[in-house]
Structure 1
Amino acid sequence: MKYILPLFCLLTGMIACKTAAQQRLYIQKEGRSQQPWKLVWEDNFNGHTLDTTKWTRIPPNNAAWGKHMTSDDRCYALKDGKLYLRGINNPDTTKDPRPFLTGGIYTKGKFAFQYGKVEIRAKLECAQGAWPAIWMLAETDKYGAYPRNGEIDIMEHLNYDSIIYQTTHSYYTLDLKQTEKPPHGGTAALRNGEFNVFGISWYPDKIVFLLNGKETFTYPRVKGVDPSQWPYDQPFYLLIDQQLGGNWVGKVNPDDLPVQMIVDWVKVYQ
């Protein structure tokens, strides 16, 4: 009996771990892409605090997009069923020397999916140096270090632009410079100052970018080229962040701050 109990506990723990992994990774079944979409995961931000079973506040990092990221409460708010992610002037540079602070969330380690449809309803405020983004990265390093696992930019917005950028990045596009075989990104006009629905429909052979329910750009899987062209055969997690500054967007105008991205809901279908 003294040997049976530890074995039972071990097996129970293994089953629990497997169940947790299955709940965290949503792998679309083969052939499912021909069926009607079914909602598998969502957040409507109806609580008073961020649901930490789904999201983590993005920590700062050395990338251009992440150098101002913070967990500071002043960059986050939930009210009236909406999430507010803010870019602000740092009110106390004695404790943190960075001039700006930005809020962002991701599902890394908590939710990732392979194939399906994702839509995010959000409103983007404008400012010089504002760079809000909704995007996806691979949950594991299946093919090695970045950019070998790819990146899917559902939406990037710069400054006061009336367009968004929708792009794929990978070793194939960044290192091998194959940005036109096939074209790896496009732009689409958005309703500035209003809520828009940003999304993709992701299949084993293509990624279809969406804006307000309309197809805007498609990135196909191509045969006969370097295999790094399609790292999109693995689970990806979501990132939503109100970035500030960087070579692409340009310098930040402190007088334009605060600026925010207001997120109404996130829905994932398979």
Structure 2
Amino acid sequence: MHIKLGQISRCILGGISILLGSCSVSNRLTEHPQIYIQKEGRAEKKWKLIWKDDFNESTLDTNRWSRIPAGTADWNRHMSTDDRCFELKDGQLHLLGINNPDTLRDKRPFITGGIWSKGKFAFQYGRIEIRAKLGSAQGAWPAMWMLAELDKYGKYPKNGEIDIMEHLNFDKIIYQTTHSYYTLDLGEKTKPPHSGTAVIDAGAYNVYGISWYPDRIVFQLNGKDTFTYPRLQGVDSSQWPYDQPFFILIDQQLGGSWVGKVDRSQLPVVMEVDWVKVYQ
């Protein structure tokens, strides 16, 4: 969609207006208007805000987000759309992991809350920042990450995964990682290194993010670069599936083979999300 300067002052995303500092730096796909593709030649220019949510409303903005449903993988096995896993107060979204209050209808011992922008907002290249405070508990696994919107290369993991931040238990570090067919199926995790860590105070507010370019993904913490995953030449093409739009996931996960067993006596645990901002 082409918007002339001065024609309007706001862009429409799913029927809701958001800041347009923005639409002049992005291409919108006619068949997928929720997708923002950074225009060529902008990679090294000043970022402009194209999309944000500061969670100041009394309900979740369903033009931007959906609650993540349950699945069969470790990360979404305990996801729930139950209202008790979500709170909006004081300009923040709280995503909770709680002991299941109704095991007659749902036999899972605990349930968790998460949101994603799948089908509502995705972008290709740019910068995302998420300000949040993490809760800690044995078995807690809060995550902020991205998956492909259009499945350009096939089913997972061929389209890749970008993990902006994952935190385990009471760790004093976060993990920042890329996953793909190249790293998982071909096992190429050192050429180039696909994961890094950064030291945090999980109980304080931090800004987690990435700056995503056509040739590299730069992971960041509080505005400082922590780890870079580059696009390589002369290797299997599956090394770089990051040339397509990705959507956002933010979820308070519990349990699984990586994080370990959940101590239910330490629940509830909560991730407090202050805002999400995307620039191109």
- Equivalent AA in structure 1 for residue 126 of structure 2: G
Q: Does 1:163 align with 2:173?
A: yes
Q: Does 1:100 align with 2:110?
A: yes
- Structure 1 residue 28, shift from structure 2 partner: 0.3
| 3-state SS of 1:248 partner | coil
Q: Distance in 2 between matches of 1:72 and 1:158?
A: 23
Q: CA RMSD in A?
A: 1.3
| Correspondent of 1:30 among 20, 40, 43 | 40
| Correspondent of 2:208 among 183, 198, 206 | 198
CA radius of gyration, larger in: 1
Q: Does 1:253 align with 2:263?
A: yes
- Equivalent AA in structure 2 for residue 21 of structure 1: H
Q: Does 1:65 align with 2:69?
A: no
- Equivalent AA in structure 1 for residue 120 of structure 2: K
Q: Distance in 2 between matches of 1:44 and 1:152?
A: 22
| Correspondent of 1:136 among 146, 151, 160 | 146
Trace 1:1-270 onto structure 2 (pairs within 5 A). 21-22=32-33, 24-270=34-280
- Structure 1 residue 106, shift from structure 2 partner: 0.1
Q: Which runs of 5+ in 2 are unaligned?
A: 1-14, 16-27
- Structure 1 residue 98, shift from structure 2 partner: 0.4
Q: Please list every run of at least 4 consecutive aligned residues from structure 1 whose deviation after the TM superposition is greater than 2 angstroms.
A: 16-22
- Structure 1 residue 21, shift from structure 2 partner: 2.5
- Equivalent AA in structure 2 for residue 75 of structure 1: C
Q: Distance in 2 between matches of 1:109 and 1:20?
A: 12
Q: Between the two proteins, what is the percent identity of the paired residues?
A: 70
- Structure 1 residue 215, shift from structure 2 partner: 0.2
Q: Distance in 2 between matches of 1:193 and 1:170?
A: 31
Q: Which runs of 5+ in 1 are unaligned?
A: 1-15
Are the counterparts in 1 of residues 29 and 36 from structure 2 also a CA contact under 8 Å?
no
1:241-269 per-residue CA deviation (whole Å, 9 max, x = no partner) reads: 00000000000000000001000000000
The structure whose residues are more often helix, as a share, is 1
* TM-score (norm. length: structure 1): 0.92
Q: For residues 214 and 18 of structure 1, do their structure 2 counterparts lie closer, same or farther at Cα, with a shift above 3 Å needed? A: closer
